[in-house]
Amino acid sequence: MGIKSSDKPKLKHKKGLWSPEEDQRLRNYLLKHSHACWSSVPVNAGLQRNGKSCRLRWINYLRPGLKRGIFTVQEEETILTLHRLLGNKWSQMAQHLPGRTDNQIKNYWHSHLKKKLAKLEEMEAHIKTQCSTTTSRSENTDSSVTSENLSYELLMNQMEKSSRQNNDLAEDGHKSSLPKLLFAEWLSLENVHSRSSVNSGNEQVISMAGFNNHNTSFVQDCFMNGYLLNEGAFRGDLRAGFSNDLMEEMLNSGFKIEDQISGIELVDSTSGHDICNNDVLYI
DNA sequence: AAATGTCGCAACCGCTCTTAC
DNA sequence: AGTAAGAGCGGTTGCGACATT
Please state the pTM of the whole predicted model: 0.53
Q: Is the CB of A15 under 7 A from strand B?
A: yes
pLDDT reported for residue A35: 66
Q: What share of chain A is helix, strand, coil (3-state, %, to 5)?
A: 55, 5, 40
The reply to whether A169 has its C-beta less than 7 Å from any atom of strand C is no
Residues (pLDDT < 70) of chain A are 1-12, 35-36, 132-283
Q: How far is the CA of A38 from the C1' of C7 (A)?
A: 8
Give the CA A187 to C1' C4 distance in Å.
Answer: 42
Straight-line distance from CA A97 to C1' C2, in Å?
40
Instruction: Say what the alpha-carbon torsion angle A227, A231, A237, A239 is, to the nearest 10 degrees.
Output: 90
Cβ of A39 < 7 Å from strand C?
yes
The answer to whether strand B lies under 7 Å from the CB of residue A175 is: no
Cβ within 8 Å of residue A249, ≥6 positions away:
A257, A260, A261
